[in-house]
Structure 1
Amino acid sequence: MSGIICYENVDICYNGSPVIKKVSFSAEKGEILGIAGESGSGKSTLIKAAIGLLGKNGSVTGGKIWYEEKNLLDLNEKELRKICGSEIGMIFQNAGSSFCPIRTVGDQLLEEMKEHRKIKKAEFEDEAAEMLAKFGFQDPKRILKSYPFELSGGMQQRVGVAAAMLLKPKILLADEPTSALDVSIQKQVVEQMKMIREQYGTTILIVTHNIGVIRAMADSMLVLKDGKMEEYGKTQEVLSHPQSDYTKRLLAAIPVLRR
């Protein structure tokens, strides 16, 4: 199995109880992989394991996670910190909760960039404004001067995606980035993430329970149930000809509008 990121027989436990069991998949440069399944299936746990975000109670107990021929699980905290953000970015389900409410958006994004490169404030403001403009903000300089609570939920989410892309990482991990948004804003975020892939060749792993999002943007998809792989393959093939009974039930549960 090859790719810019590759999971090889990964097992994950919380407090000694297994939650991910022998999961293997890979994603190539510029590929979008959708990870689907019901709540509690282990989707978010799977991507958080790559950058050490399982918390004190979680641990990878088996397998390997390869990134450009390095096993991420073998890296120490300092080595992993160097990669996180600059090479592997993360978008959280509720971007607003990842911002400090009493500091401006610009101050927080500048701090993030200074962790990985030397940059003057004026240079940062130009780069940040340019990135925010790519995500549809007409007045990016005002956004940088704003506090998170002054932005709507949709704006916070778009800022979160832009923040993750400031350092132009090779891989973007997206944990339910559209779940808290209304349909029109969901469409904007999906289009912006596709734009990221086209402009930067970014590999994207997106966790979602929304099959419509996967259908709209993912090249391939992985279906999880109780921490086990139920289905894995090209998106259109999986959606058109599901092999697993669970996947069939999952697809059958999608609401259909009728006259």
Structure 2
Amino acid sequence: MSEIIRYEHVDISYYEKRVVQDISFAVQPGEILGIAGESGSGKSTLLRAAMGLLGRGGVVTRGDIWYGDKDLPDLPVKELRALCGSEMAMIFQSAGNSFCAIRTVGAQLWEMMQAHGKKDKVAFAEQARDILAKFGFASPGRILDSYPFELSGGMQQRVGVAAAMLLQPKLLLADEPTSALDVTVQKQVIEEMLLARKLFGTSILLVTHNIGVIRKMADEVLIMKDGACVEYGNTHEVMERPQSAYTKKLLAAVPCLRR
């Protein structure tokens, strides 16, 4: 079984200061890999490197990030942009910040479809309503006609998940998608991402500091500290029988309810 994405000995630096070192892992079709660790450990940087979103001063200084036979850091910008949205999609910590406040949700999604060569606006509207309905929105048409500020933060995040799946990408990159939400909406967003895998066979690369989300969603888990991998393996085995002292410390810090 060929991997959807594979990182091979990846180093990433900002302004010549290395922040990620020697990271290797692979995500199989339909698999969810969770990346956990404390703030500043380099989790989000790994995802942004795949999408070409490291920003000014950020660069992959060593190693490869393979999507099929394409090494993403070496792709021309035009080729990488063609992959983003259609093959790989990303959900950010606050989806609302990704929307333009003065344009409707529908107008912004249509613009994305046009960027990928879609020309039939009627077909787009039907497709958009259908996917919003699949993800549990009772009034898809109203969502498309709404401005982002008319939706709650939780609704914006859920629309972000649905929008990311509009072109049915093979890989979903989720950067702390639940951390800014209350518990009830967290559950809804988690269920939407799991539904995306069920409906479309989508693989998910999930960054989170929430161990509960890792336990619920991830098939495999990678634990990071100070830009390096300290443990990587099957989620159940890592959670029940951690080998790294840092993983043990991380798990011990998770609050638990007692009777």
Q: Are the counterparts in 2 of residues 222 and 233 from structure 1 also a CA contact under 8 Å?
A: yes
Unaligned 5+ segments in structure 1 are none
Q: Which residue of 1 aligns with 2:109?
A: 109
- 1:236-259 C-alpha deviation (Å, 9 max, x unpaired): 010011000000000000001123
The DSSP-based 3-state class of the residue aligned with 2:215 is helix
| Deviation readout 1:65-96 (Å, 9 max, x if unpaired) | 00112111221001101101100000010000
AA of the residue aligned to 2:37: G
Query: What is the match of residue 169 of structure 2?
Result: 169
Paired residue for 2:32?
32
Aligned length: 259
- Name the counterpart of 1:15: 15
- Higher deviation after alignment, 69-78 or 101-110: 69-78
One-letter identity of the residue aligned with 2:41: S
- Give the C-alpha shift of residue 51 in structure 1: 1.1
Letter aligned with residue 254 of structure 1? V
The secondary structure found in structure 2 opposite 1:149 is helix
Aligned to 1:99: 99
- The offset of 1:117, in angstroms, is 2.5
Shift of 1:15: 1.0
Q: Report how far residue 2 of structure 1 moved.
A: 5.5
RMSD, aligned α-carbons: 1.0
Look up the match of 2:206.
Answer: 206
Amino acid at match of 2:20: I
Q: How do 1:185-200 residues align onto structure 2 when only pairs under 5 Å count?
A: 185-200=185-200
Q: Once the two structures are superposed, what CA deviation does each residue of 1:130-156 show, in whole Å capped at 9, x if it has no partner? A: 111111110000000000000001100
What is residue 247 of structure 2 aligned with on the other side? 247
Amino acid at match of 1:74: D
Q: Distance in 1 between matches of 2:194 and 2:18?
A: 34
Deviates more, 1:171-180 or 1:119-128: 119-128
Q: How big is each residue's C-alpha offset from its partner over 1:180-239, in whole Å with a ceiling of 9 and x where there is no partner?
A: 111111111111111111111111000000000010010000000000001000100100
SS at match of 1:39: coil
Q: Tell me the secondary structure at the aligned position of residue 40 of structure 1.
A: coil
What does residue 68 of structure 1 align with? 68
Structure 1: how far apart are the matches of 2:57 and 2:162? 31
Mapping 1:133-172, distance limit 5 Å: 133-172=133-172
Distance 1:14 1:98 in 2: 23
CA distance in 2, matches of 1:20, 1:251: 22
TM-score, normalized by length of structure 1? 0.98
Q: SS state of the match for residue 119, structure 2? A: coil
Cα distance in structure 1, aligned partners of 2:8 and 2:2: 10
Q: 1:3 offset after TM fit, Å?
A: 1.3
Distance 1:138 1:117 in 2: 29
SS at match of 2:205: strand
For 2:256 and 2:92, the matched residues in 1 are separated by 29
* Residues in 1 aligned to 2:258 and 2:52: alpha-carbon distance in whole angstroms: 45
Paired with 2:118 and 2:198, the residues of 1 have a C-alpha distance of: 27
Q: In structure 2, how many angstroms separate the alpha carbons of the residues matched to 1:9 and 1:2? A: 18
Query: How far 1:119 moved relative to its partner?
Result: 2.8
CA distance in 1, matches of 2:100, 2:34: 29
CA distance in 1, matches of 2:143, 2:193: 20
1: CA distance, partners of 2:135 / 2:180: 18
- Measure, in 2, the Cα distance between the counterparts of 1:103 and 1:42: 33
SS at match of 1:54: coil
Distance 2:157 2:228 in 1: 30
Kindly provide the amino acid, as one letter, of the partner of residue 165 in structure 1: M
**Is the Cα contact below 8 Å between 1:2 and 1:26 reproduced in 2?**
no
Q: After superposition, where does 1:45-56 map in structure 2 within 5 Å?
A: 45-56=45-56
| CA–CA distance in structure 1, aligned partners of residues 101 and 70 of structure 2 | 36
1:3–1:28: 8 Å Cα contact kept in structure 2? yes
* 1:204-243 equivalent positions in 2, closer than 5 A: 204-243=204-243
Secondary structure at the aligned position of 1:56 is classed as: coil
